[in-house]
Structure 1
Amino acid sequence: MTLLALDLNPFSLMMEPELVLQTMERSTQLRGLRRHKLRPLDKPLIPYTKEALAARAAYDAAIDAEDFEDVADAYLLN
């Protein structure tokens, strides 16, 4: 096989990591990519109101208070 055929064969690239690095360094497509840093959002896109936060807390508390074992037992017994 020629060197070009080895470069294009994904199985040979998986077995030879140094060849992968060499191929990446020679790639004009990879060199042409724009590089920029992505940062996580500092703030949520939709600001939460006090009412929305209270409603979420109430919903979470209701879920936490629910006894899922009894519900599951009743479901499995029927």
Structure 2
Amino acid sequence: MKTSSVELNPFSLMMEPEVVLQTMERSQQLRGLRRHKLRPLDKPLIPLTKEALASRAAFDAAIDAEELEAMEDGDLLN
């Protein structure tokens, strides 16, 4: 395969993305890569216990109560 210095110049490659796509399609190395999908956000990394969920709910309720109190007092700027 013959490559010219223009094809190796990253700036010229940005101007001709179709050349990059064609080169990628012909690449044996890219075709040989194993493909698998990683979905790290599908499952929580740390399972939450009942205590953790209750603690989170209590914290959220405290924040909501503070915001409600601030709204009643007219302390919010928005």
Same-fold call, TM > 0.5?
A: yes
Aligned pair count? Answer: 71
In the other structure, the counterpart of 2:29 is: 29
- Gap runs ≥5 in structure 1: 73-78
Give 1:46 deviation, angstroms. Answer: 2.2
Give 1:56 deviation, angstroms. Answer: 0.3
- Residue identity over aligned pairs, in percent, reads 77
In the other structure, the counterpart of 2:45 is: 45
* SS in structure 2 of the partner of residue 61 of structure 1: helix
- Gap runs ≥5 in structure 2: none
The normalised TM-score by structure 1 is 0.63
Contact 1:7–1:13 (8 Å) recurs in 2 = yes
In the other structure, the counterpart of 2:62 is: 62
What root-mean-square deviation, in Å, do the aligned CA atoms of Structure 1 and Structure 2 show?
Answer: 2.9
The normalised TM-score by structure 2 is 0.63
CA distance in 2: counterparts of 1:43 and 1:21, whole angstroms: 34
Give 1:6 deviation, angstroms. Answer: 2.5
Aligned structure 1 segments of 4 or more residues deviating by more than 6 angstroms: none
* SS in structure 2 of the partner of residue 66 of structure 1: helix
Structure number with greater CO (CA < 8 Å, separation at least 6) is 1
| CA offset digits 1:18-68 (Å, max 9, x no partner) | 111112123343233221122345432322121110100111122223247
Give 1:71 deviation, angstroms. Answer: 8.1
